[in-house]
């Protein structure tokens, strides 16, 4: 029997109490799609909030129906007997503000015009993203979370949460993340965005009523992104120079090598589930993220943090290298906080946190166990 | 390793850094007996993973590189128990330790211990003892030294030796007579 979960929806901001964004602009209606696993205990002390990464959504674990082939994106981490044990913890995951999987984003209808926002959607930041999640937690009746956790952009949300709402968490898990995006990471995102905005079908972001959508741009962006998520070694082991099919006399400029066909496949499946404008807004929010926020040192910026934390990096992750994690660790240490850091051996690059690795699971299980006491 | 032999040097509620903390035995003892605010550093992923579920605060890192992360005198005490001989640049490590820590404990196997001397004298081979069990070609101990060497070093580097313990045997029995000859293991309490 497959474990089933349902995506729920909640309006967290409306015209009576709009969401004030960092840019000074307002959103008069914000809806969040979210899922929960397990049960909230009587003392409301077993709640864990998960933040997803760029391409994730609220569907973190279990299946939506018995017919589904694939479970949620972090199913190996969440469920009975898994690190985020749904027999012990009440686990929550919401689609981010700006997303396209049920939460308010550029593809949502602007209540003022009755049409999708497109690029009239205001710019959003990581700080903006966590505000609706905070509302959701309050709505669920939770004052203090046992733990927050996130990888990559999810880790940025966790970091910002630990600074913005220090009293609301006991523990925090920062996985494969960074206090700011490196120039290299911004560069890759920038090429991805350029692919979308230079697609003639993008139409300055107002393509929702058009039969032509900037899917070639989005596909290209995803293909570039996907390269940055993989480890050099795992890519070499998986594909090497293997050919996709027998090469005939005509040159095939896109699908000769297996790695090419793999990227094509990844790109094609991504465009079926993701909105190009969401990709633009979210990658912008990631690139703009700056945990320093005007402070001279990271330790100063992290001054409000109280939570016990576990910072994890992966040895082959070159997009969010361990040096970035160590900056966080160093700052937390200087602030005399209870922090643990582990650099987990893995060949799978940045994507390692989305791969079922025993050592990764051991670390998370141990951290949560220690948090309970 | 039984650590109570040197814990008398550590004040209650000190902020302590344990170098090469392994799976956290010393930290647990210091937390229990001294209510210490303990941090650990270890290079091994496996050891760090084992510490996490014990609720200990451990950083996976390299003593040779990662000690300059902390501000001066950040720790009340730095523990370098039986690890100095493993480091690439012991002089640099000691200087780092005494920068980030107000006091430090450095312990090491004394290479001038009489059994080691006899072993070289009569066998003509690199000694292998319970404390130094490795063949020369696979030993992690790359900088072996003696009690006298360490005292000379402290003098040359203007490091103050506040106290010492010389010990021998499995039970770490204290010895005081001719320590460079009779001590198998030495502990020094040092400061700048």
Say yes or no to pLDDT of A325 above 80.
yes
Q: Suggest the residue from B60, B66, B71 to mutate for an interface test with chain A (most A CBs closer than 10 A).
A: B60
| Alpha-carbon span A230 to A347, nearest angstrom | 8
Longest dimension (CA), chain B: 49
Q: List, in order of start, the domains of chain B with CATH numbers.
A: 4-111+144-191 (3.40.50.150)
- A310:B52 CB<8 A: yes
Which of these ranges, A80-89, A97-106, B171-180, has the smallest mean pLDDT? B171-180
Q: List, in order of start, the domains of chain A with CATH numbers.
A: 8-181+290-372 (3.40.50.1820), 185-284 (1.10.1740.110)
Beta strands in B48-122 (DSSP E): 58-60, 75-81, 101-109
Taking the CA of residue B59 and the nearest CA in chain A, the distance in Å comes to: 5
Average pLDDT, chain B: 93
- A342:B15 CB<8 A: no
Confidence of residue A373 (pLDDT cuts 50, 70, 90): confident
Q: Give the pLDDT of residue B171.
A: 81
> Mean pLDDT throughout A74-78?
98
Which of these ranges, A214-218, A246-250, A298-302, B22-26, has the smallest mean pLDDT? A246-250
Q: Give the pLDDT of residue A251.
A: 73
Question: A47-76 b/e with 16+ CB inside 10 Å = b?
Answer: bbbbbbbbbbbbbbbbbbeeeeeebbbbbb
Say yes or no to pLDDT of B3 above 70.
no
> Mean pLDDT throughout A274-296?
97
| Alpha-carbon span A295 to B105, nearest angstrom | 36
A372 Cβ under 8 Å from any chain B Cβ:
no
Q: Give the pLDDT of residue A248.
A: 64
Q: Closest Cα to residue A153, out of A54, A292, A226?
A: A54
Q: Give the pLDDT of residue B59.
A: 93
| Alpha-carbon span A69 to A266, nearest angstrom | 17
Say yes or no to pLDDT of A255 above 70.
yes
A334 Cβ under 8 Å from any chain B Cβ:
yes
Average pLDDT, chain A: 96
Q: Give the pLDDT of residue A204.
A: 97
A335 Cβ under 8 Å from any chain B Cβ:
no
Q: Taking a C-beta distance cutoff of 8 angstroms, is the pair B136, B169 a contact?
A: no
Residues of B in contact with A345 (CB under 8 A): 45
Q: Give the pLDDT of residue A51.
A: 98
| Alpha-carbon span A38 to A369, nearest angstrom | 17
Whole-angstrom CA distances from A350 to A323, A365, B106, B179 are 14, 21, 39, 53
Minimum-distance CB partner of A341 among B15, B54, B59: B59
Question: A188-221 b/e with 16+ CB inside 10 Å = b?
Answer: bbeebbebbeebebbbebebbeeeebbbbbbbbb
Per-residue model confidence as pLDDT tens digits over A99-156 = 999 999 999 999 999 999 999 999 999 999 999 999 999 999 999 999 999 999 999 9
| Alpha-carbon span A328 to A325, nearest angstrom | 5
% of residues, chain A, pLDDT over 70: 99
Say yes or no to pLDDT of A44 above 80.
yes
A262-291 residues touching B, CB cutoff 8 A: none
Which of these ranges, A30-34, A61-65, A163-167, A330-334, has the smallest mean pLDDT? A330-334
| Alpha-carbon span A320 to A328, nearest angstrom | 12
What is the 8-class DSSP label of residue A203? Answer: G
> Mean pLDDT throughout A333-352?
95
- A344:B45 CB<8 A: yes
Per-residue model confidence as pLDDT tens digits over A171-187 = 999 999 999 999 999 99
A344 Cβ under 8 Å from any chain B Cβ:
yes
Say yes or no to pLDDT of A28 above 60.
yes
Catalytic residues of A: 152, 317, 350
More confident residue, A246 or A197: A197
B172 CB neighbour count, 10 Å cutoff: 19
Per-residue model confidence as pLDDT tens digits over B151-175 = 999 999 999 999 999 999 888 889 9
> Mean pLDDT throughout A223-242?
94
Q: Suggest the residue from A323, A340, A352, A369 to mutate for an interface test with chain B (most B CBs closer than 10 A).
A: A340
Q: Closest Cα to residue B150, out of B183, B175, B102, B118?
A: B183
A166 Cβ under 8 Å from any chain B Cβ:
no
Residue that has been written with the tokens 């992690």 in this structure? B140
A49 Cβ under 8 Å from any chain B Cβ:
no
| Alpha-carbon span B147 to A65, nearest angstrom | 71
Confidence of residue B1 (pLDDT cuts 50, 70, 90): very low
Say yes or no to pLDDT of A367 above 60.
yes
Q: Closest Cα to residue A126, out of A292, A327, A286, A278?
A: A286
Residue of A nearest to B46 (CA): A359
Q: Closest Cα to residue B58, out of B28, B83, B87?
A: B28
């Amino acid at each position: 029997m497959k474990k089933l979960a349902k995506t729920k929806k909640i309006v967290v901001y409306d015209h009576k109490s709009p969401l004030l964004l960092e840019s000074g602009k307002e959103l008069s209606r914000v809806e969040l799609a979210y899922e929960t696993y397990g049960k909230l205990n009587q003392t409301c002390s077993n709640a864990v909030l998960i933040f997803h990464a760029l391409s994730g959504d609220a569907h973190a674990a279990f299946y939506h129906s018995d017919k589904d082939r694939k479970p949620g994106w972090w199913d190996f981490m969440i469920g009975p007997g898994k690190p985020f044990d749904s027999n012990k913890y009440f686990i929550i995951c919401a689609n981010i503000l700006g997303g396209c999987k049920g939460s308010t984003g550029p593809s949502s209808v602007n209540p003022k015009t009755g049409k999708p926002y497109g690029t009239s959607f205001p710019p959003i930041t990581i700080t903006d993203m966590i505000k609706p999640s905070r509302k959701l937690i309050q709505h669920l009746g939770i004052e203090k979370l046992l733990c927050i956790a996130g990888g990559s952009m999810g880790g940025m949300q966790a970091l910002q949460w630990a600074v913005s709402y220090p009293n609301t968490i006991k523990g925090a898990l920062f996985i494969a993340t960074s206090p700011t995006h490196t120039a290299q990471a911004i560069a890759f995102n920038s090429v991805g965005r350029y692919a979308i905005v230079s697609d003639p079908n993008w139409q300055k972001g107002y393509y929702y009523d058009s039969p032509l959508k900037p899917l070639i741009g989005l596909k290209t962006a995803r293909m570039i992104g996907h390269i940055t998520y993989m480890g050099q070694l795992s890519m070499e082991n998986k594909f090497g120079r293997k050919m996709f099919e027998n090469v005939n006399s005509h040159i095939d400029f896109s699908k000769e090598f297996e790695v090419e066909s793999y990227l094509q496949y990844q790109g094609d499946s991504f465009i079926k589930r993701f909105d190009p404008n969401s990709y633009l807004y979210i990658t912008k929010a990631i690139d703009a993220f700056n945990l320093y926020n005007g402070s001279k040192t990271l330790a100063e910026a992290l001054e409000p943090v109280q939570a016990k934390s576990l910072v994890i990096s992966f040895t082959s992750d070159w997009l969010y290298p361990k040096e970035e994690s160590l900056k966080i660790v160093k700052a937390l240490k200087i602030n005399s906080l209870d922090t643990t850091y582990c650099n987990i051996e893995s060949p799978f690059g940045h994507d390692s946190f989305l791969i079922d690795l025993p050592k990764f699971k051991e670390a998370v299980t141990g951290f949560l166990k220690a948090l309970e006491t | 390793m039984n650590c109570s032999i040197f814990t008398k040097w550590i004040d209650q509620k000190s902020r302590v850094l344990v170098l090469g903390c392994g799976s956290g035995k010393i930290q647990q003892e210091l937390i229990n007996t001294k209510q210490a605010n303990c941090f650990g550093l270890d290079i091994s992923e496996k050891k760090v993973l084992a510490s996490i579920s014990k609720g200990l605060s451990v950083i996976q890192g390299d003593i040779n590189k990662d000690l300059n992360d902390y501000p001066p005198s950040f720790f009340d005490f730095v523990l370098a128990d039986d690890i100095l001989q493993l480091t690439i640049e012991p002089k640099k490590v000691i200087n780092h330790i005494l920068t980030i820590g107000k006091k430090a404990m450095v312990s090491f196997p004394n290479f001038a211990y009489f059994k080691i001397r006899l072993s070289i004298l009569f066998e003509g081979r690199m000694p292998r003892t319970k404390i130094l069990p490795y063949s020369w070609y696979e030993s992690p101990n790359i900088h072996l030294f003696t009690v006298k060497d360490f005292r000379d070093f402290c003098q040359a580097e203007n490091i103050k030796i506040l106290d010492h313990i010389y010990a021998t045997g499995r039970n770490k029995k204290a010895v005081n007579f001719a320590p460079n000859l009779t001590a198998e293991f030495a502990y020094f309490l040092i400061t700048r």
